[in-house]
Structure 1
Amino acid sequence: MTRHAWSERQLLCDELERVGPDAPTLCEGWETRDLAAHLFVRESRPDLSIGAYLPTFAGRLEREQSTLAQGDYDALVSRVRAGAPRWNPLSLPKVDEVANLVEYFVHHEDIRRAQPDWSPRELPEELQRALWAALRRLARLMFRSSPTGVVLVAPGIGRHAAKLPDAHGTVILRGDPAELVLFAYGRGDHAEVQFEGRADDVVALRESRLGLG
């Protein structure tokens, strides 16, 4: 079994080590130390990560995650690199691949594309196809807030209707699966995609809040 999620995790950690704890990311308000703390909490501290879903616990999550971010950065990155603890189902390779591929790919690019010298990576076709499969599963959720219809086109790979029109017409988004994933996750300003549709529809899509938020 090819473990794209594990490879992206290792590359992300390489990047965290390369740029250091105080580098910017595309996650608003987070430096690299904050992103590393988020990734650790997500897999290893369910008592804290519940705060991402239940407002009652949000304050504790923010405080404890901030404390982790201000701690030993190298140790924190090493813990992220090691993967989920054995008691977590995310430690199982098949679960890791389904649940973490997009998570680690997007956050890897959150670091890379926040740096002044970034350029798109040339990804192997196998990884692009894995990202396309993940995007097809998640597209309806990611584009649920779009006021336009959305059709995703990955040349040479596939086409997928992500959302029916609402207040506007339909926009075709064209690009490599990796770039379409980034757009779907709210990184539109840093995703290399092409738009086909009426100008007002394109503007409406670009201004909508996409992703899990």
Structure 2
Amino acid sequence: MTLARDERHALVATMTAVGPDAPTLCGDWTTRDLAAHLVVRERRLDASPGIVIKPLAPHTEKVRAEYAARPYEELLELVRTGPPIWSPLRLVDAKANLGEMFVHHEDVRRSGSGWEPRDLDDEWDGALWSLARQLGRMAFRKAPCTVVLDAGEGRTVTPRHAAGAGEVILTGTPAELLLYAFGRDAVRVGFDGPDDAVAAVKALPRGV
């Protein structure tokens, strides 16, 4: 088993527990909608490009809605079993799907009040820190100031340099920094820097 596979199964277990109509952090999507998105991403090569290419989004949404109309248990089984043998994602599941499964699991976990971060072990911590460092370059590329990610224990990275424009340091666990870089606001992240620079970083469009 890989971390990505473990997290996939944990996500399905949580989705099963909360039911098909539970809210998520993905806009107005319910857990049913989110499950349909995951299925399209892994199983419909004709529709998945629209997830990131806006002109193709209408077709992607049409296909996603068709899957969302299926029985919830069927959708979750498709998510649980992962990419089919012919999917390019199957070969890179351990790397390509770790962030996807983790972030969407937290989208379900943190959609209501009273959530708490999970207590993750060192293996998880290292894997999520690697992802946060990679995604940070994209998430903060338009920042008007220097951005530093600080995960503690001497782990820092500077995904954005902007000479003479001030510096904002984001502090948190690798999991929280990754979620923030993915565009989530239900996180435990601290901000240190000039007020105007911090406000500018918080206003950035983030995610992939």
Asked if TM exceeds 0.5, the reply is yes
Q: Which of the residues 187, 190, 203 maps onto 1:191?
A: 187
Q: Helix, strand or coil for the counterpart of 1:190?
A: coil
Is 2:149 aligned against 1:152? yes
AA of the residue aligned to 1:19 = V
AA of the residue aligned to 2:59 = R
Q: Helix, strand or coil for the counterpart of 1:47?
A: coil
CA RMSD in angstroms comes to: 1.6
Q: Is the 2:12–2:79 contact (alpha carbons within 8 Å) kept by the matching residues of 1?
A: yes
Equivalences, count:
208
**Alpha-carbon distance in 2 for matches of 1:157, 1:101:** 24
**Residue deviations 1:119-142 (CA, integer Å, cap 9, x gap):** 111011110111111222222112
Q: In the TM superposition, what are the counterparts of 1:46-57 in structure 2 within 5 Å?
A: 46-57=45-56
**Alpha-carbon distance in 2 for matches of 1:57, 1:77:** 25
* Equivalent in the alignment of 2:62: 63
**Alpha-carbon distance in 1 for matches of 2:52, 2:153:** 38
Over 3 Å counting, the alpha-carbon distance change for 1:90 and 1:200 in structure 2 is same
Deviation at 1:115, TM superposition (A): 2.3
Deviation at 1:166, TM superposition (A): 7.3
* Equivalent in the alignment of 2:97: 100
* Equivalent in the alignment of 2:112: 115
Q: Is the 2:9–2:80 contact (alpha carbons within 8 Å) kept by the matching residues of 1?
A: yes
Q: Which of the residues 139, 142, 149 maps onto 2:139?
A: 142
Over 3 Å counting, the alpha-carbon distance change for 1:19 and 1:56 in structure 2 is same
Is 2:13 aligned against 1:17? no
**Residue deviations 1:7-40 (CA, integer Å, cap 9, x gap):** 1111111111011111111111211111000000
Unmatched runs of 5 consecutive residues or more in structure 1? none
TM-score, normalised by the number of residues in structure 2: 0.94
Is 2:177 aligned against 1:180? yes
**Residue deviations 1:30-83 (CA, integer Å, cap 9, x gap):** 111110000000000011112224444322211121121122111101110001
Q: Is the 1:147–1:208 contact (alpha carbons within 8 Å) kept by the matching residues of 2?
A: no
Over 3 Å counting, the alpha-carbon distance change for 1:56 and 1:208 in structure 2 is closer
Over 3 Å counting, the alpha-carbon distance change for 1:209 and 1:41 in structure 2 is same
TM-score, normalised by the number of residues in structure 1: 0.92
Q: Is the 2:135–2:178 contact (alpha carbons within 8 Å) kept by the matching residues of 1?
A: no
Q: Helix, strand or coil for the counterpart of 1:46?
A: coil
Q: Which of the residues 169, 192, 197 maps onto 1:201?
A: 197
Unmatched runs of 5 consecutive residues or more in structure 2? none
